[in-house]
Amino acid sequence: MKPAQRAFLERRIAEEHMTELPEHGAPPPGLEGHEDAAALLVWTMNADGVADRKWTLADEVNWSGVVAVRMENRGGIEIDPLSYGDEPEFFDGEE
């Protein structure tokens, strides 16, 4: 990716309050196979900086081409995709 393309993508990710995935085209660490993944809502962005304008259930996302995501539980609580699965309260929003 050229520096100008990289800068554009980083700007788009920030504008949409998303998190870049460590491995493009793969689900966030800890999400794959997690029992609560079917209840998480995911908003995705591709390498061109185009964000999908609809929320999708995490277990229904086609991860190929996805470079950034925003995740929430059904209660609207935002979830950090890079630490998902580390703390069980992320799913239900309880502390």
Question: Mind listing the pLDDT tens digit for each residue in 56-92?
Answer: 999 899 999 999 999 998 888 998 888 876 655 444 4
- C-alpha to C-alpha distance for 90 and 73, rounded to whole angstroms: 8
- pTM greater than 0.75 (yes/no): yes
Strand extents, DSSP E, 1-95: 19-20, 41-46, 56-57, 66-72, 78-79
